[in-house]
Chain A
Amino acid sequence: MSIVVGKTSKAPDFPIAAKTALKNDQLRRNVAHATNVIRSKRALRVEEMPDWEDLRQAGSEIKAHTLAHLDHYLEEFARNCERAGGKVHWARDADEANNIAIKLIRRYGGIEPGVEVIKVKTMTSDEVQMNHALEAEDIKPIETDLADMIVQLGHDEPSHIVVPALHKNRFEIRDIFRAKMRLPDLTDQPEDLTNAARHYLRNRFLRAKIGISGANFAIAETGSVGVVESEGNGRMCVTLPEVLITLVGIEKVIPTFADLEVFLQTLPRSATGERMNPYNSIWTGVTPGDGPQAFHVILLDNGRTKLLADDIERETLACIRCGACLNACPVYRETGGHAYGSIYSGPIGAILSPQLQSLEHSRSLPFASTLCGACYEVCPVKINIPEVLIHLRGRVVREEQKTLGGKLSAENIAMQTAATIFQDHRRYEAAQRLARVGQTIFKRDGQLTNLPGMAGGWTRSRDLRPIPKQSFRDWWKIRSSQKDKEPQ
């Protein structure tokens, strides 16, 4: 098995990557501005819904039910998709998915070097690093989503699930377009940038024989596949080419067409603060004379089935990739998406990447959160992200405690010592007294400003009030004994 989740396995630990991101003022301004805008738009569109909480609950229940019977619904989807003229392929991991795609491209005539395939935004293809796999075979993937195109032309990585180029402002985008589209006089006006993108893409849309898409939904009942988007590039990608290949994570299946009623309300409002997406494309198999005449679906596992066994972990698979948790997250707001070292960033990335790939490659991610709960509050399918984070922290700690290095780590020793102290109030009080004495050498102007070890992470940029001469307990004990002496 070669489970690949973007470039997660080569990423530095979150605290290190975050430190670099925090030094980039332009990036932080871009991220704060963009997330503020999307957050307020979302809030408006959610507040106007009298049944928002019911919709969240319904979405959560549909997903929980589907994941509990995933085998059943996947087979139903595959049957109905093939009955309608589609062909379904099952990919266990990234390599299998990419090899299936490459073989299909070759089979449908994509044999000349540098053959172009057009793509509509698909996080799943970024997950399996499909563009790299295609390029290695001299196939040229053309990203047609504006933000994905910016990322591709700028040799960059997506930093947001819905808005992959959120970390770039229009001046930076203008510079990329100027260089890559050879438009030295291009301005930074949004209309001009959009026009440049339209001109760049138009011929590529028209001449491509093969399109690649992801899917927001795969509907078991009808075998249909759906993509929602804002730019119309998706509609072109799934209708213009002769051949369409759709890569779908297995968790994207929903039981019935009617279930869309819930998700087509919650997804656009959560993702971009729109009442509905400008383009909602749903297609079923092949229609002779209309649209692609060959349709292939690749159902991707890539680590997903591992999550099914555990109640808490399974929740992660309910995600509909709206990105609301990223926009709400105060950590993401400071660092942007790249610090997470994965194409899935923010709170959902912090639980998804380590579970899909393995904790080994992203063990710092479950700790990249204050557990403030803003993600859970906005999640349209009610994934209790803080709960999953705590669960994964437990797994990381237990795995590390199995190694000698983990047992002897400063953190483990501190935690074991604290646990022992907390089990007896006399030890607790003694520790307080000891700390009161010990802290004197770190005091400056009545403050703790330069503590050693892990606590140094605190005092590098923050002061700490020393433990007072009299603790609450001391005060309480004296007070109680005085009270006892008082005449009744």
Chain B
Amino acid sequence: MLERLGHTVEFPVQQTCCGQMHYNTGYHHEAVPLVRRFVELFRDAEAVCVPSASCVAMMREHYVMMAEAENDPAFLNEVRSLLPRVFEFSELLVNRLGLEDVGASFPHSVTYHPSCHSLRMLHVGDAPVKLLRSVRDLTLLELPNKEQCCGFGGTFAVKNPDVSVAMLTEKDACVVQTGAEVVTALDNSCLMQIYGGLHRSGSKVRTLHLAEILESTGGLA
């Protein structure tokens, strides 16, 4: 989709993880080398597109503080210089590139789950909704109680599986209630959770990242 819009996309294959899982679970020291690795690999990029709101939240909320604790001024400077060039996928399109219509076509009904990190940490607002509204033939259906967490929460999902699933059950009931064919979000982690419950209960609702919808020019296979 980005190439269709005329941009050059590079994917440094050396990249692995932003460190969020370790950091949010309390493994703070273990996350530091991953932060260093990310900064090293992406420091020369014009814009870094991250198709995961929670990873961007990790970077914006914690990288500076982590770099400060490292007592390494050069590293801290690199973090500070890189962060303004890091964009969540919908931020990149709407805020950085000024786009709403990316030339996509998707003849399906879709409901949008605003993931917690995109909503309350990145404050992406209605950027993803603007993008979805501009997709040809797409019917956007409002998700009831949309701002409530899906219950994923990283390692929360396995450390507190019962509560996680109770939260998921509420979320999936709302998704099913919309009658949409597809539920989308800016975080594959939430979608993995939502899918896990939907598929177990036999629902046919598909989970797709927003990028997959915006890439489409004809709909689901």
Bound complex: CA A387 to CA B14 (Å) = 30
A315 to chain B, nearest CB (A): 14
A55 within 8 A of B: no
Residue from B153, B157, B163 within 8 A of A458 (CB atoms): B157
Residues of A near B166 (CB, < 8 A) are 22, 334
Query: Could you list 14 examples of A-B contacts with CB < 8 Å?
Result: A330-B148, A369-B153, A369-B156, A370-B153, A370-B167, A390-B23, A390-B24, A398-B28, A419-B27, A425-B16, A428-B17, A447-B199, A455-B158, A461-B165
A488 within 8 A of B: no
B7 within 8 A of A: no
Asked if residues B27 and A464 are in contact (CB atoms below 8 Å), the reply is no
A415 within 8 A of B: yes
Q: Which of B76-84, B95-103, B188-196 faces chain A?
A: B188-196
Asked if residues A15 and B28 are in contact (CB atoms below 8 Å), the reply is no
Residues of B near A421 (CB, < 8 A) are 16
Asked if residues B200 and A461 are in contact (CB atoms below 8 Å), the reply is yes
A347 to chain B, nearest CB (A): 12
B121 within 8 A of A: yes
B34 within 8 A of A: yes
Bound complex: CA A390 to CA B25 (Å) = 7
**Count of CB-CB pairs between chains A and B under 8 Å:** 153
Known: A331-B163, A476-B11. A367 touches B156 (CB 8 A): yes
Please give me the residue from chain B that is nearest to A460 by CB atom.
Answer: B161
A10 within 8 A of B: no
Asked if residues B193 and A423 are in contact (CB atoms below 8 Å), the reply is no
Bound complex: CA A419 to CA B196 (Å) = 26
Residues of B near A19 (CB, < 8 A) are 162
Asked if residues B22 and A415 are in contact (CB atoms below 8 Å), the reply is yes
Asked if residues B161 and A370 are in contact (CB atoms below 8 Å), the reply is no
B130 within 8 A of A: no
B120 within 8 A of A: yes
Please give me the residue from chain A that is nearest to B116 by CB atom.
Answer: A372
Residues of A near B61 (CB, < 8 A) are 387
Asked if residues A15 and B196 are in contact (CB atoms below 8 Å), the reply is no
B2 to chain A, nearest CB (A): 13
Q: Which of A100-108, A137-145, A373-381 faces chain B?
A: A373-381
B73 within 8 A of A: no
Asked if residues B149 and A370 are in contact (CB atoms below 8 Å), the reply is yes
Grouping DSSP codes into helix (H, G, I), strand (E, B) and loop, the B interface class, with mixed when no group exceeds half, is helix
Known: A422-B34, A463-B196. A330 touches B167 (CB 8 A): yes
Bound complex: CA A416 to CA B156 (Å) = 18
A396 within 8 A of B: yes
* B interface list, Cβ under 8 A from A: 11, 13-17, 19, 21-31, 33-34, 37, 61-62, 116-117, 119-121, 147-149, 151-168, 192-193, 195-197, 199-200
Asked if residues B33 and A15 are in contact (CB atoms below 8 Å), the reply is no
Please give me the residue from chain B that is nearest to A465 by CB atom.
Answer: B195
Asked if residues B163 and A15 are in contact (CB atoms below 8 Å), the reply is yes
A357 within 8 A of B: no
Asked if residues B160 and A419 are in contact (CB atoms below 8 Å), the reply is no
Please give me the residue from chain B that is nearest to A334 by CB atom.
Answer: B166
A457 within 8 A of B: yes
Please give me the residue from chain A that is nearest to B194 by CB atom.
Answer: A462
Known: A419-B22, A461-B161. A477 touches B30 (CB 8 A): no
> How does the 8 Å CB contact mask read for A435-467 relative to B, with 1 for contact and 0 for none?
000000000000101000011011011111100
Asked if residues A334 and B167 are in contact (CB atoms below 8 Å), the reply is yes
Residue from B11, B151, B199 within 8 A of A463 (CB atoms): B199
Bound complex: CA A462 to CA B197 (Å) = 5
Not counting A335-B163, A377-B120, a sample of 18 additional A-B residue pairs whose C-beta atoms are within 8 angstroms of each other reads A366-B26, A370-B156, A371-B24, A371-B154, A373-B121, A374-B149, A390-B26, A394-B26, A394-B27, A397-B28, A416-B30, A419-B34, A428-B16, A454-B158, A458-B196, A460-B161, A462-B165, A462-B200
Asked if residues B21 and A418 are in contact (CB atoms below 8 Å), the reply is yes
Residues of B near A455 (CB, < 8 A) are 158
A182 within 8 A of B: no
A217 within 8 A of B: no
A473 within 8 A of B: yes
Bound complex: CA A19 to CA B159 (Å) = 12
A89 within 8 A of B: no
Bound complex: CA A110 to CA B193 (Å) = 59
Bound complex: CA A374 to CA B116 (Å) = 8
Residues of B near A458 (CB, < 8 A) are 157-158, 161, 196
Asked if residues A423 and B151 are in contact (CB atoms below 8 Å), the reply is no
Residue from B120, B153, B160 within 8 A of A15 (CB atoms): B160
Bound complex: CA A425 to CA B165 (Å) = 32
Bound complex: CA A298 to CA B160 (Å) = 39
Bound complex: CA A14 to CA B200 (Å) = 26
Please give me the residue from chain B that is nearest to A331 by CB atom.
Answer: B163
Please give me the residue from chain B that is nearest to A480 by CB atom.
Answer: B11
Residues of A near B34 (CB, < 8 A) are 419, 422-423
Please give me the residue from chain B that is nearest to A396 by CB atom.
Answer: B26
Listed residue (B15, B34, B162) with the most chain A CB atoms within 10 angstroms of its CB: B162
Asked if residues A425 and B160 are in contact (CB atoms below 8 Å), the reply is no
Residues of A near B193 (CB, < 8 A) are 462
Bound complex: CA A314 to CA B136 (Å) = 51
Listed residue (B34, B159, B163, B200) with the most chain A CB atoms within 10 angstroms of its CB: B163
Known: A15-B162, A390-B23, A465-B195. A457 touches B157 (CB 8 A): yes
